[in-house]
């Protein structure tokens, strides 16, 4: 059998999990109660079943370094990471077709793809591996295979798959059906031959491309054109933006799976959750005697059935029931547990207002590390910077602010104007307005320092980069 190459789809803002999931640090990177991320767990699951030493990840250009950091943290064994970097979202059909073209070119059309969204949670990896083996056997026969999740309730938020004739290890697919109303979902549950469509797939590169040629030739042609104009040296491929945006915005379900002639579903024997709401995330925490689930520090008096998560501050809840309370430091969510799907409307409002909380947290991740805003006033801004070993900030200057750096931990290599210096703990330097400067961490542990900005404007657009090792100029 040909090699199996996992393709991880890591995109989307996870708006229903705001304020923890935001566009600059979305759902796949969120920390679960056990400290792991959904992306890290997806990688572990992918490597558990792959028989090739390669994992392809389709993600946004802005998530390149976050992804690399997560893989360095969570990989159970060495592997080759190939990143296909999107300049913007174009749904799953372009992402998967581009991955199939890339893999077919490098490994041949017989190579099998295992397509895994990065925001799903699976605990039983052994059962997952057995179902993947069944899917691979069908894929080797030319089937486009998906995994069907046995419905545990008449869920109206998922699409469904209607199974037909039994075939080796699975069933032929009679139909994909849209998200139903409650009565229809109840009838699907009673029928017994409907499963949730989890958006996981297994097929050979050649079978997927042949199906795309028949069902959505415009998608395939646009993907080929995109690859033709994209430089692909190395394992971090940044798609040409105009050619990428010329692709149709369509899902793989609509473009291929619903129209293809040879398709199958393998009933999943593994546990599965898409962690699509705060209720689903809350289920990962054991309840107390009153049914309260708490992450962080909280006191609940005369209340039950609540989910509370805090990232540092104490939360006290008195006389409330069946609420979701999430404190992300700079924003607090309070929601009725039956209304958590409406959290996305909060994000829509924030986006219309161009509010920072739709995009960033107080802690903002950068290729070199991160910074946390400690104070943001009219006349000054204070940040705590964490620079990874070997991390290098851009050579830059500011027109409307000066800066003062004080080292808290580690050693800082600093350039101010034409002068270079090493600063140790409790040492500091001053950077006047319109002065070239750069910060590096030459050590082997994280560098922490406090940055105090003074001026009349502190926006990130007051950064003029002249050199940058991460290609941001």
Examine the domain organization and report whether 335 and 382 are in the same domain.
no
Mean predicted confidence (pLDDT) in 429-445: 97
For the chain, give the mean pLDDT: 94
Let me know whether 251 and 311 are in one domain. no
Say how far apart CA 451 and CA 406 lie, in whole Å. Answer: 7
Q: Strand runs (DSSP E) across 213-270, as ranges? A: 236-238, 263-267
Last residue of a domain, one of 293, 311, 343: 343
Read off φ and ψ for residue 336, nearest 5 degrees.
Answer: -65, 135
Burial track 445-461 (b if 16+ CB lie within 10 A, e otherwise): ebbbbebbbebeebeee
CA quadruple 286, 290, 291, 292: dihedral positive or negative?
negative
pLDDT tens per residue across span 176-230: 998 888 999 999 999 999 999 999 999 999 999 999 999 999 999 999 999 999 9
Structure tokens at 37: 């991320």
The closest of 229, 232, 156 to 196, measured between CA atoms, is: 156
Cα 458 to Cα 134: distance, rounded to the nearest angstrom: 56
Whether 296 and 256 map to the same domain: the answer is no
Query: Running DSSP on this structure, what letter comes out for residue 77?
Result: S
Inside any domain, residue 147: yes
Going by pLDDT thresholds of 50, 70 and 90, the confidence category of residue 155 is confident
**216 and 136 fall within a common domain:** yes
Asked whether residue 414 is assigned to any structural domain, the reply reads yes
Give the separation between CA 291 and CA 284, rounded to whole angstroms. 13
Whether 351 is in a domain gets the answer: no
If pLDDT is split at 50, 70 and 90, which confidence band does 12 have? confident
409 and 310 in a common domain: no
Whether 155 and 290 map to the same domain: the answer is no
One domain, residues 421 and 317: no
Read off the DSSP letter of residue 29: G
Distance CA 315, CA 324 (A): 12
Supply the pLDDT for residue 358: 93
> Do 243 and 296 fall within a single domain?
no
Phi, then psi, of 287 in degrees rounded to 5: -80, 155
- Confirm whether 44 is domain-assigned: yes
Model confidence band, residue 293 (pLDDT cutoffs 50, 70, 90): very high
- 397 has pLDDT over 90: yes
Question: What is the tally of structural domains in the chain?
Answer: 3
**Number of neighbouring beta carbons within 10 Å of residue 365:** 19
**What does the pLDDT average to over 58-76?**
91
Least confident piece of the model among 148-157, 209-218, 433-442: 148-157
* pLDDT of 153: 87
Cα separation, 318 vs 117, in Å, equals 39
Residues 400, 446 within the same domain: yes
Provide the residue range defining the domain that includes 89.
Answer: 4-267
Render pLDDT for 101-148 as a digit per residue (tens, 0 to 9): 999 999 999 999 999 999 999 999 999 999 999 999 999 999 999 999
Residues 336 and 370 in one domain: no
302 and 245 inside one domain: no
Q: Look at residue 36 and tell me if it is in a domain.
A: yes
The CATH number for 178's domain is 3.90.550.10
pLDDT (0 to 100) of residue 274 = 87
């Amino acid at each position: 059998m040909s090699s199996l190459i996992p393709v991880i789809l890591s995109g989307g803002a996870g708006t229903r999990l705001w304020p923890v999931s935001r566009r600059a640090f979305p759902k796949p990177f969120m920390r679960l109660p056990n400290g792991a991320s959904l992306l890290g767990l997806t990688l572990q699951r992918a490597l558990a079943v792959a028989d090739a030493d390669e994992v392809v990840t389709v993600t946004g250009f802005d998530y390149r370094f976050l992804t690399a950091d997560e893989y360095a943290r969570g990989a159970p064994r060495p592997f080759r990471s190939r990143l296909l970097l999107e300049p913007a979202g174009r749904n799953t059909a372009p992402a998967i077709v581009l991955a199939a073209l890339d893999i077919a070119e490098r490994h041949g059309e017989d190579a099998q793809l295992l397509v895994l969204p990065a925001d799903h949670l699976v605990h039983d990896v052994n059962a997952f591996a057995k179902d993947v083996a069944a899917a691979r056997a069908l894929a080797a026969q030319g089937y486009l295979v998906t995994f069907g999740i046995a419905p545990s309730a008449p869920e109206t938020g998922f699409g469904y798959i209607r199974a037909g004739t039994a075939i080796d290890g699975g069933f032929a697919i009679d139909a994909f059906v849209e998200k139903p109303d409650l009565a229809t979902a109840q009838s699907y549950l009673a029928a017994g031959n409907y499963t949730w469509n989890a958006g996981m797939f297994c097929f050979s590169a050649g079978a997927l491309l042949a199906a795309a040629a028949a069902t959505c030739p415009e998608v395939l042609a646009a993907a080929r054109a995109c690859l033709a104009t994209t430089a692909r040296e190395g394992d971090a491929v940044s798609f040409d933006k105009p050619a990428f945006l010329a692709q149709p915005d369509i899902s793989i379900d609509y473009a291929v799976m619903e129209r293809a002639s040879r398709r199958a579903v393998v009933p999943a024997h593994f546990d599965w959750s898409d962690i699509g709401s705060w209720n689903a995330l809350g289920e990962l925490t054991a309840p107390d005697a009153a049914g309260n689930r708490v992450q962080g520090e909280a006191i609940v008096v005369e209340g039950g059935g609540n989910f509370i998560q805090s990232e540092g501050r104490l939360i006290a809840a008195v006389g409330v029931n069946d609420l979701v309370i999430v404190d992300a430091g700079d924003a607090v969510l309070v929601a009725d547990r039956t209304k958590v799907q409406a959290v996305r409307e909060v994000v829509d409002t924030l986006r219309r207002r161009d509010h920072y909380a739709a995009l960033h947290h107080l802690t903002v991740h950068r290729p070199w590390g991160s910074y946390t805003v400690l104070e943001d006033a009219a006349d000054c801004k204070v940040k705590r910077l964490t620079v990874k070993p070997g991390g290098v900030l851009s050579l830059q200057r500011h027109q409307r602010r000066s800066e003062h750096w004080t080292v808290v931990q580690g050693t800082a290599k600093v350039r101010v104007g034409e002068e270079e210096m090493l600063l140790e703990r409790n040492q500091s330097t001053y950077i006047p307005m319109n002065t070239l400067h750069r910060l590096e961490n030459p050590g082997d542990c994280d560098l922490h320092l406090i940055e105090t900005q003074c001026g009349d404007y502190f926006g990130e657009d007051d950064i003029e980069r002249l050199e940058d090792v991460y290609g941001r100029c």
